Amino acid sequence: MKITWLGHSAFRLEESTGTSVVVDPYNESLVGYRMSKVAADAVTLSHHHRDHDDVSRVEGEPQIFDTVGYWDIKGVGITSMHTWHDAEEGAKRGHNLIFKYRMDGVDLCHLGDIGVECGAETGDLIGTVNVLMIPVGGNYTIDAAQAKEYVDFLMPDLVIPMHFRTPSCEVDIGKLDDFLDLFEDEQIVYVDGDTIEVDREYFDGDSTKVIVFSDKDF
């Protein structure tokens, strides 16, 4: 399967069969750079803020999922779970959905704009994760240290940080280095480009790897 980072918290996930899902497409007016249009069979939205729900960036006639539930899209399993966008049970920023995807035997999890610290209840709700896409920039979400707590609890094979400030990003959030500094150098894998291909044989089980895509001006 392929994982392509589209910037901010947006990804395109594609199974080997060709079935694809776009996650949290964003509006350029808030983020500061433009998300290229992509095609997909489905779109999942963690919440309805403009930097996470611009479905106009997705071509074709995708099914859109923005509620709690389970769906099977051409063999791809999609599960969503309710959480909060802030530490005050939504009083500041409302609801947030965690999405899990089952593709080519791999369990992927996108935490959306989660704003609650990791605890046994949330961690057990998420369950087994091979690939974890997690916000690390703080302010509107968990910060780098809180994100590391999720990593330590869930012990995914791969972590893909998201929702952090880049040179072109205009959102008031922290930079990626704050998160990377919490890992050993040998755990960080720098990828040339914005796409990786993974399957179950990709995971060695020795330790969590943090995927960092090449910097680019979106």
- pLDDT at residue number 112: 95
What whole-number distance in Å separates Cα of residue 155 and Cα of residue 166? 26
What whole-number distance in Å separates Cα of residue 108 and Cα of residue 93? 25
Sign of the four-CA dihedral 115, 121, 123, 128: negative
- pLDDT at residue number 218: 56
**Domain-wise residue ranges, the chain:** 2-213
Return the structure tokens found at 54.
């611009």
What whole-number distance in Å separates Cα of residue 195 and Cα of residue 100? 19
Contact between residue 134 and residue 166 where contact means Cβ atoms under 8 Å apart: no
- pLDDT at residue number 216: 65
Q: What is the CATH number of domain 2-213?
A: 3.60.15.10
Return the structure tokens found at 157.
């094979």
What whole-number distance in Å separates Cα of residue 116 and Cα of residue 99? 15
Reported as type and span, the H/E element at residue 72 is strand 69-73
- pLDDT at residue number 167: 84
3-state secondary structure of 73: strand
Mean pLDDT in consecutive groups of 10 residues from the start of the chain, 218 residues: 94 97 90 88 91 90 96 96 77 86 96 91 91 95 96 96 88 93 95 90 81 78
Q: Give the pTM.
A: 0.94
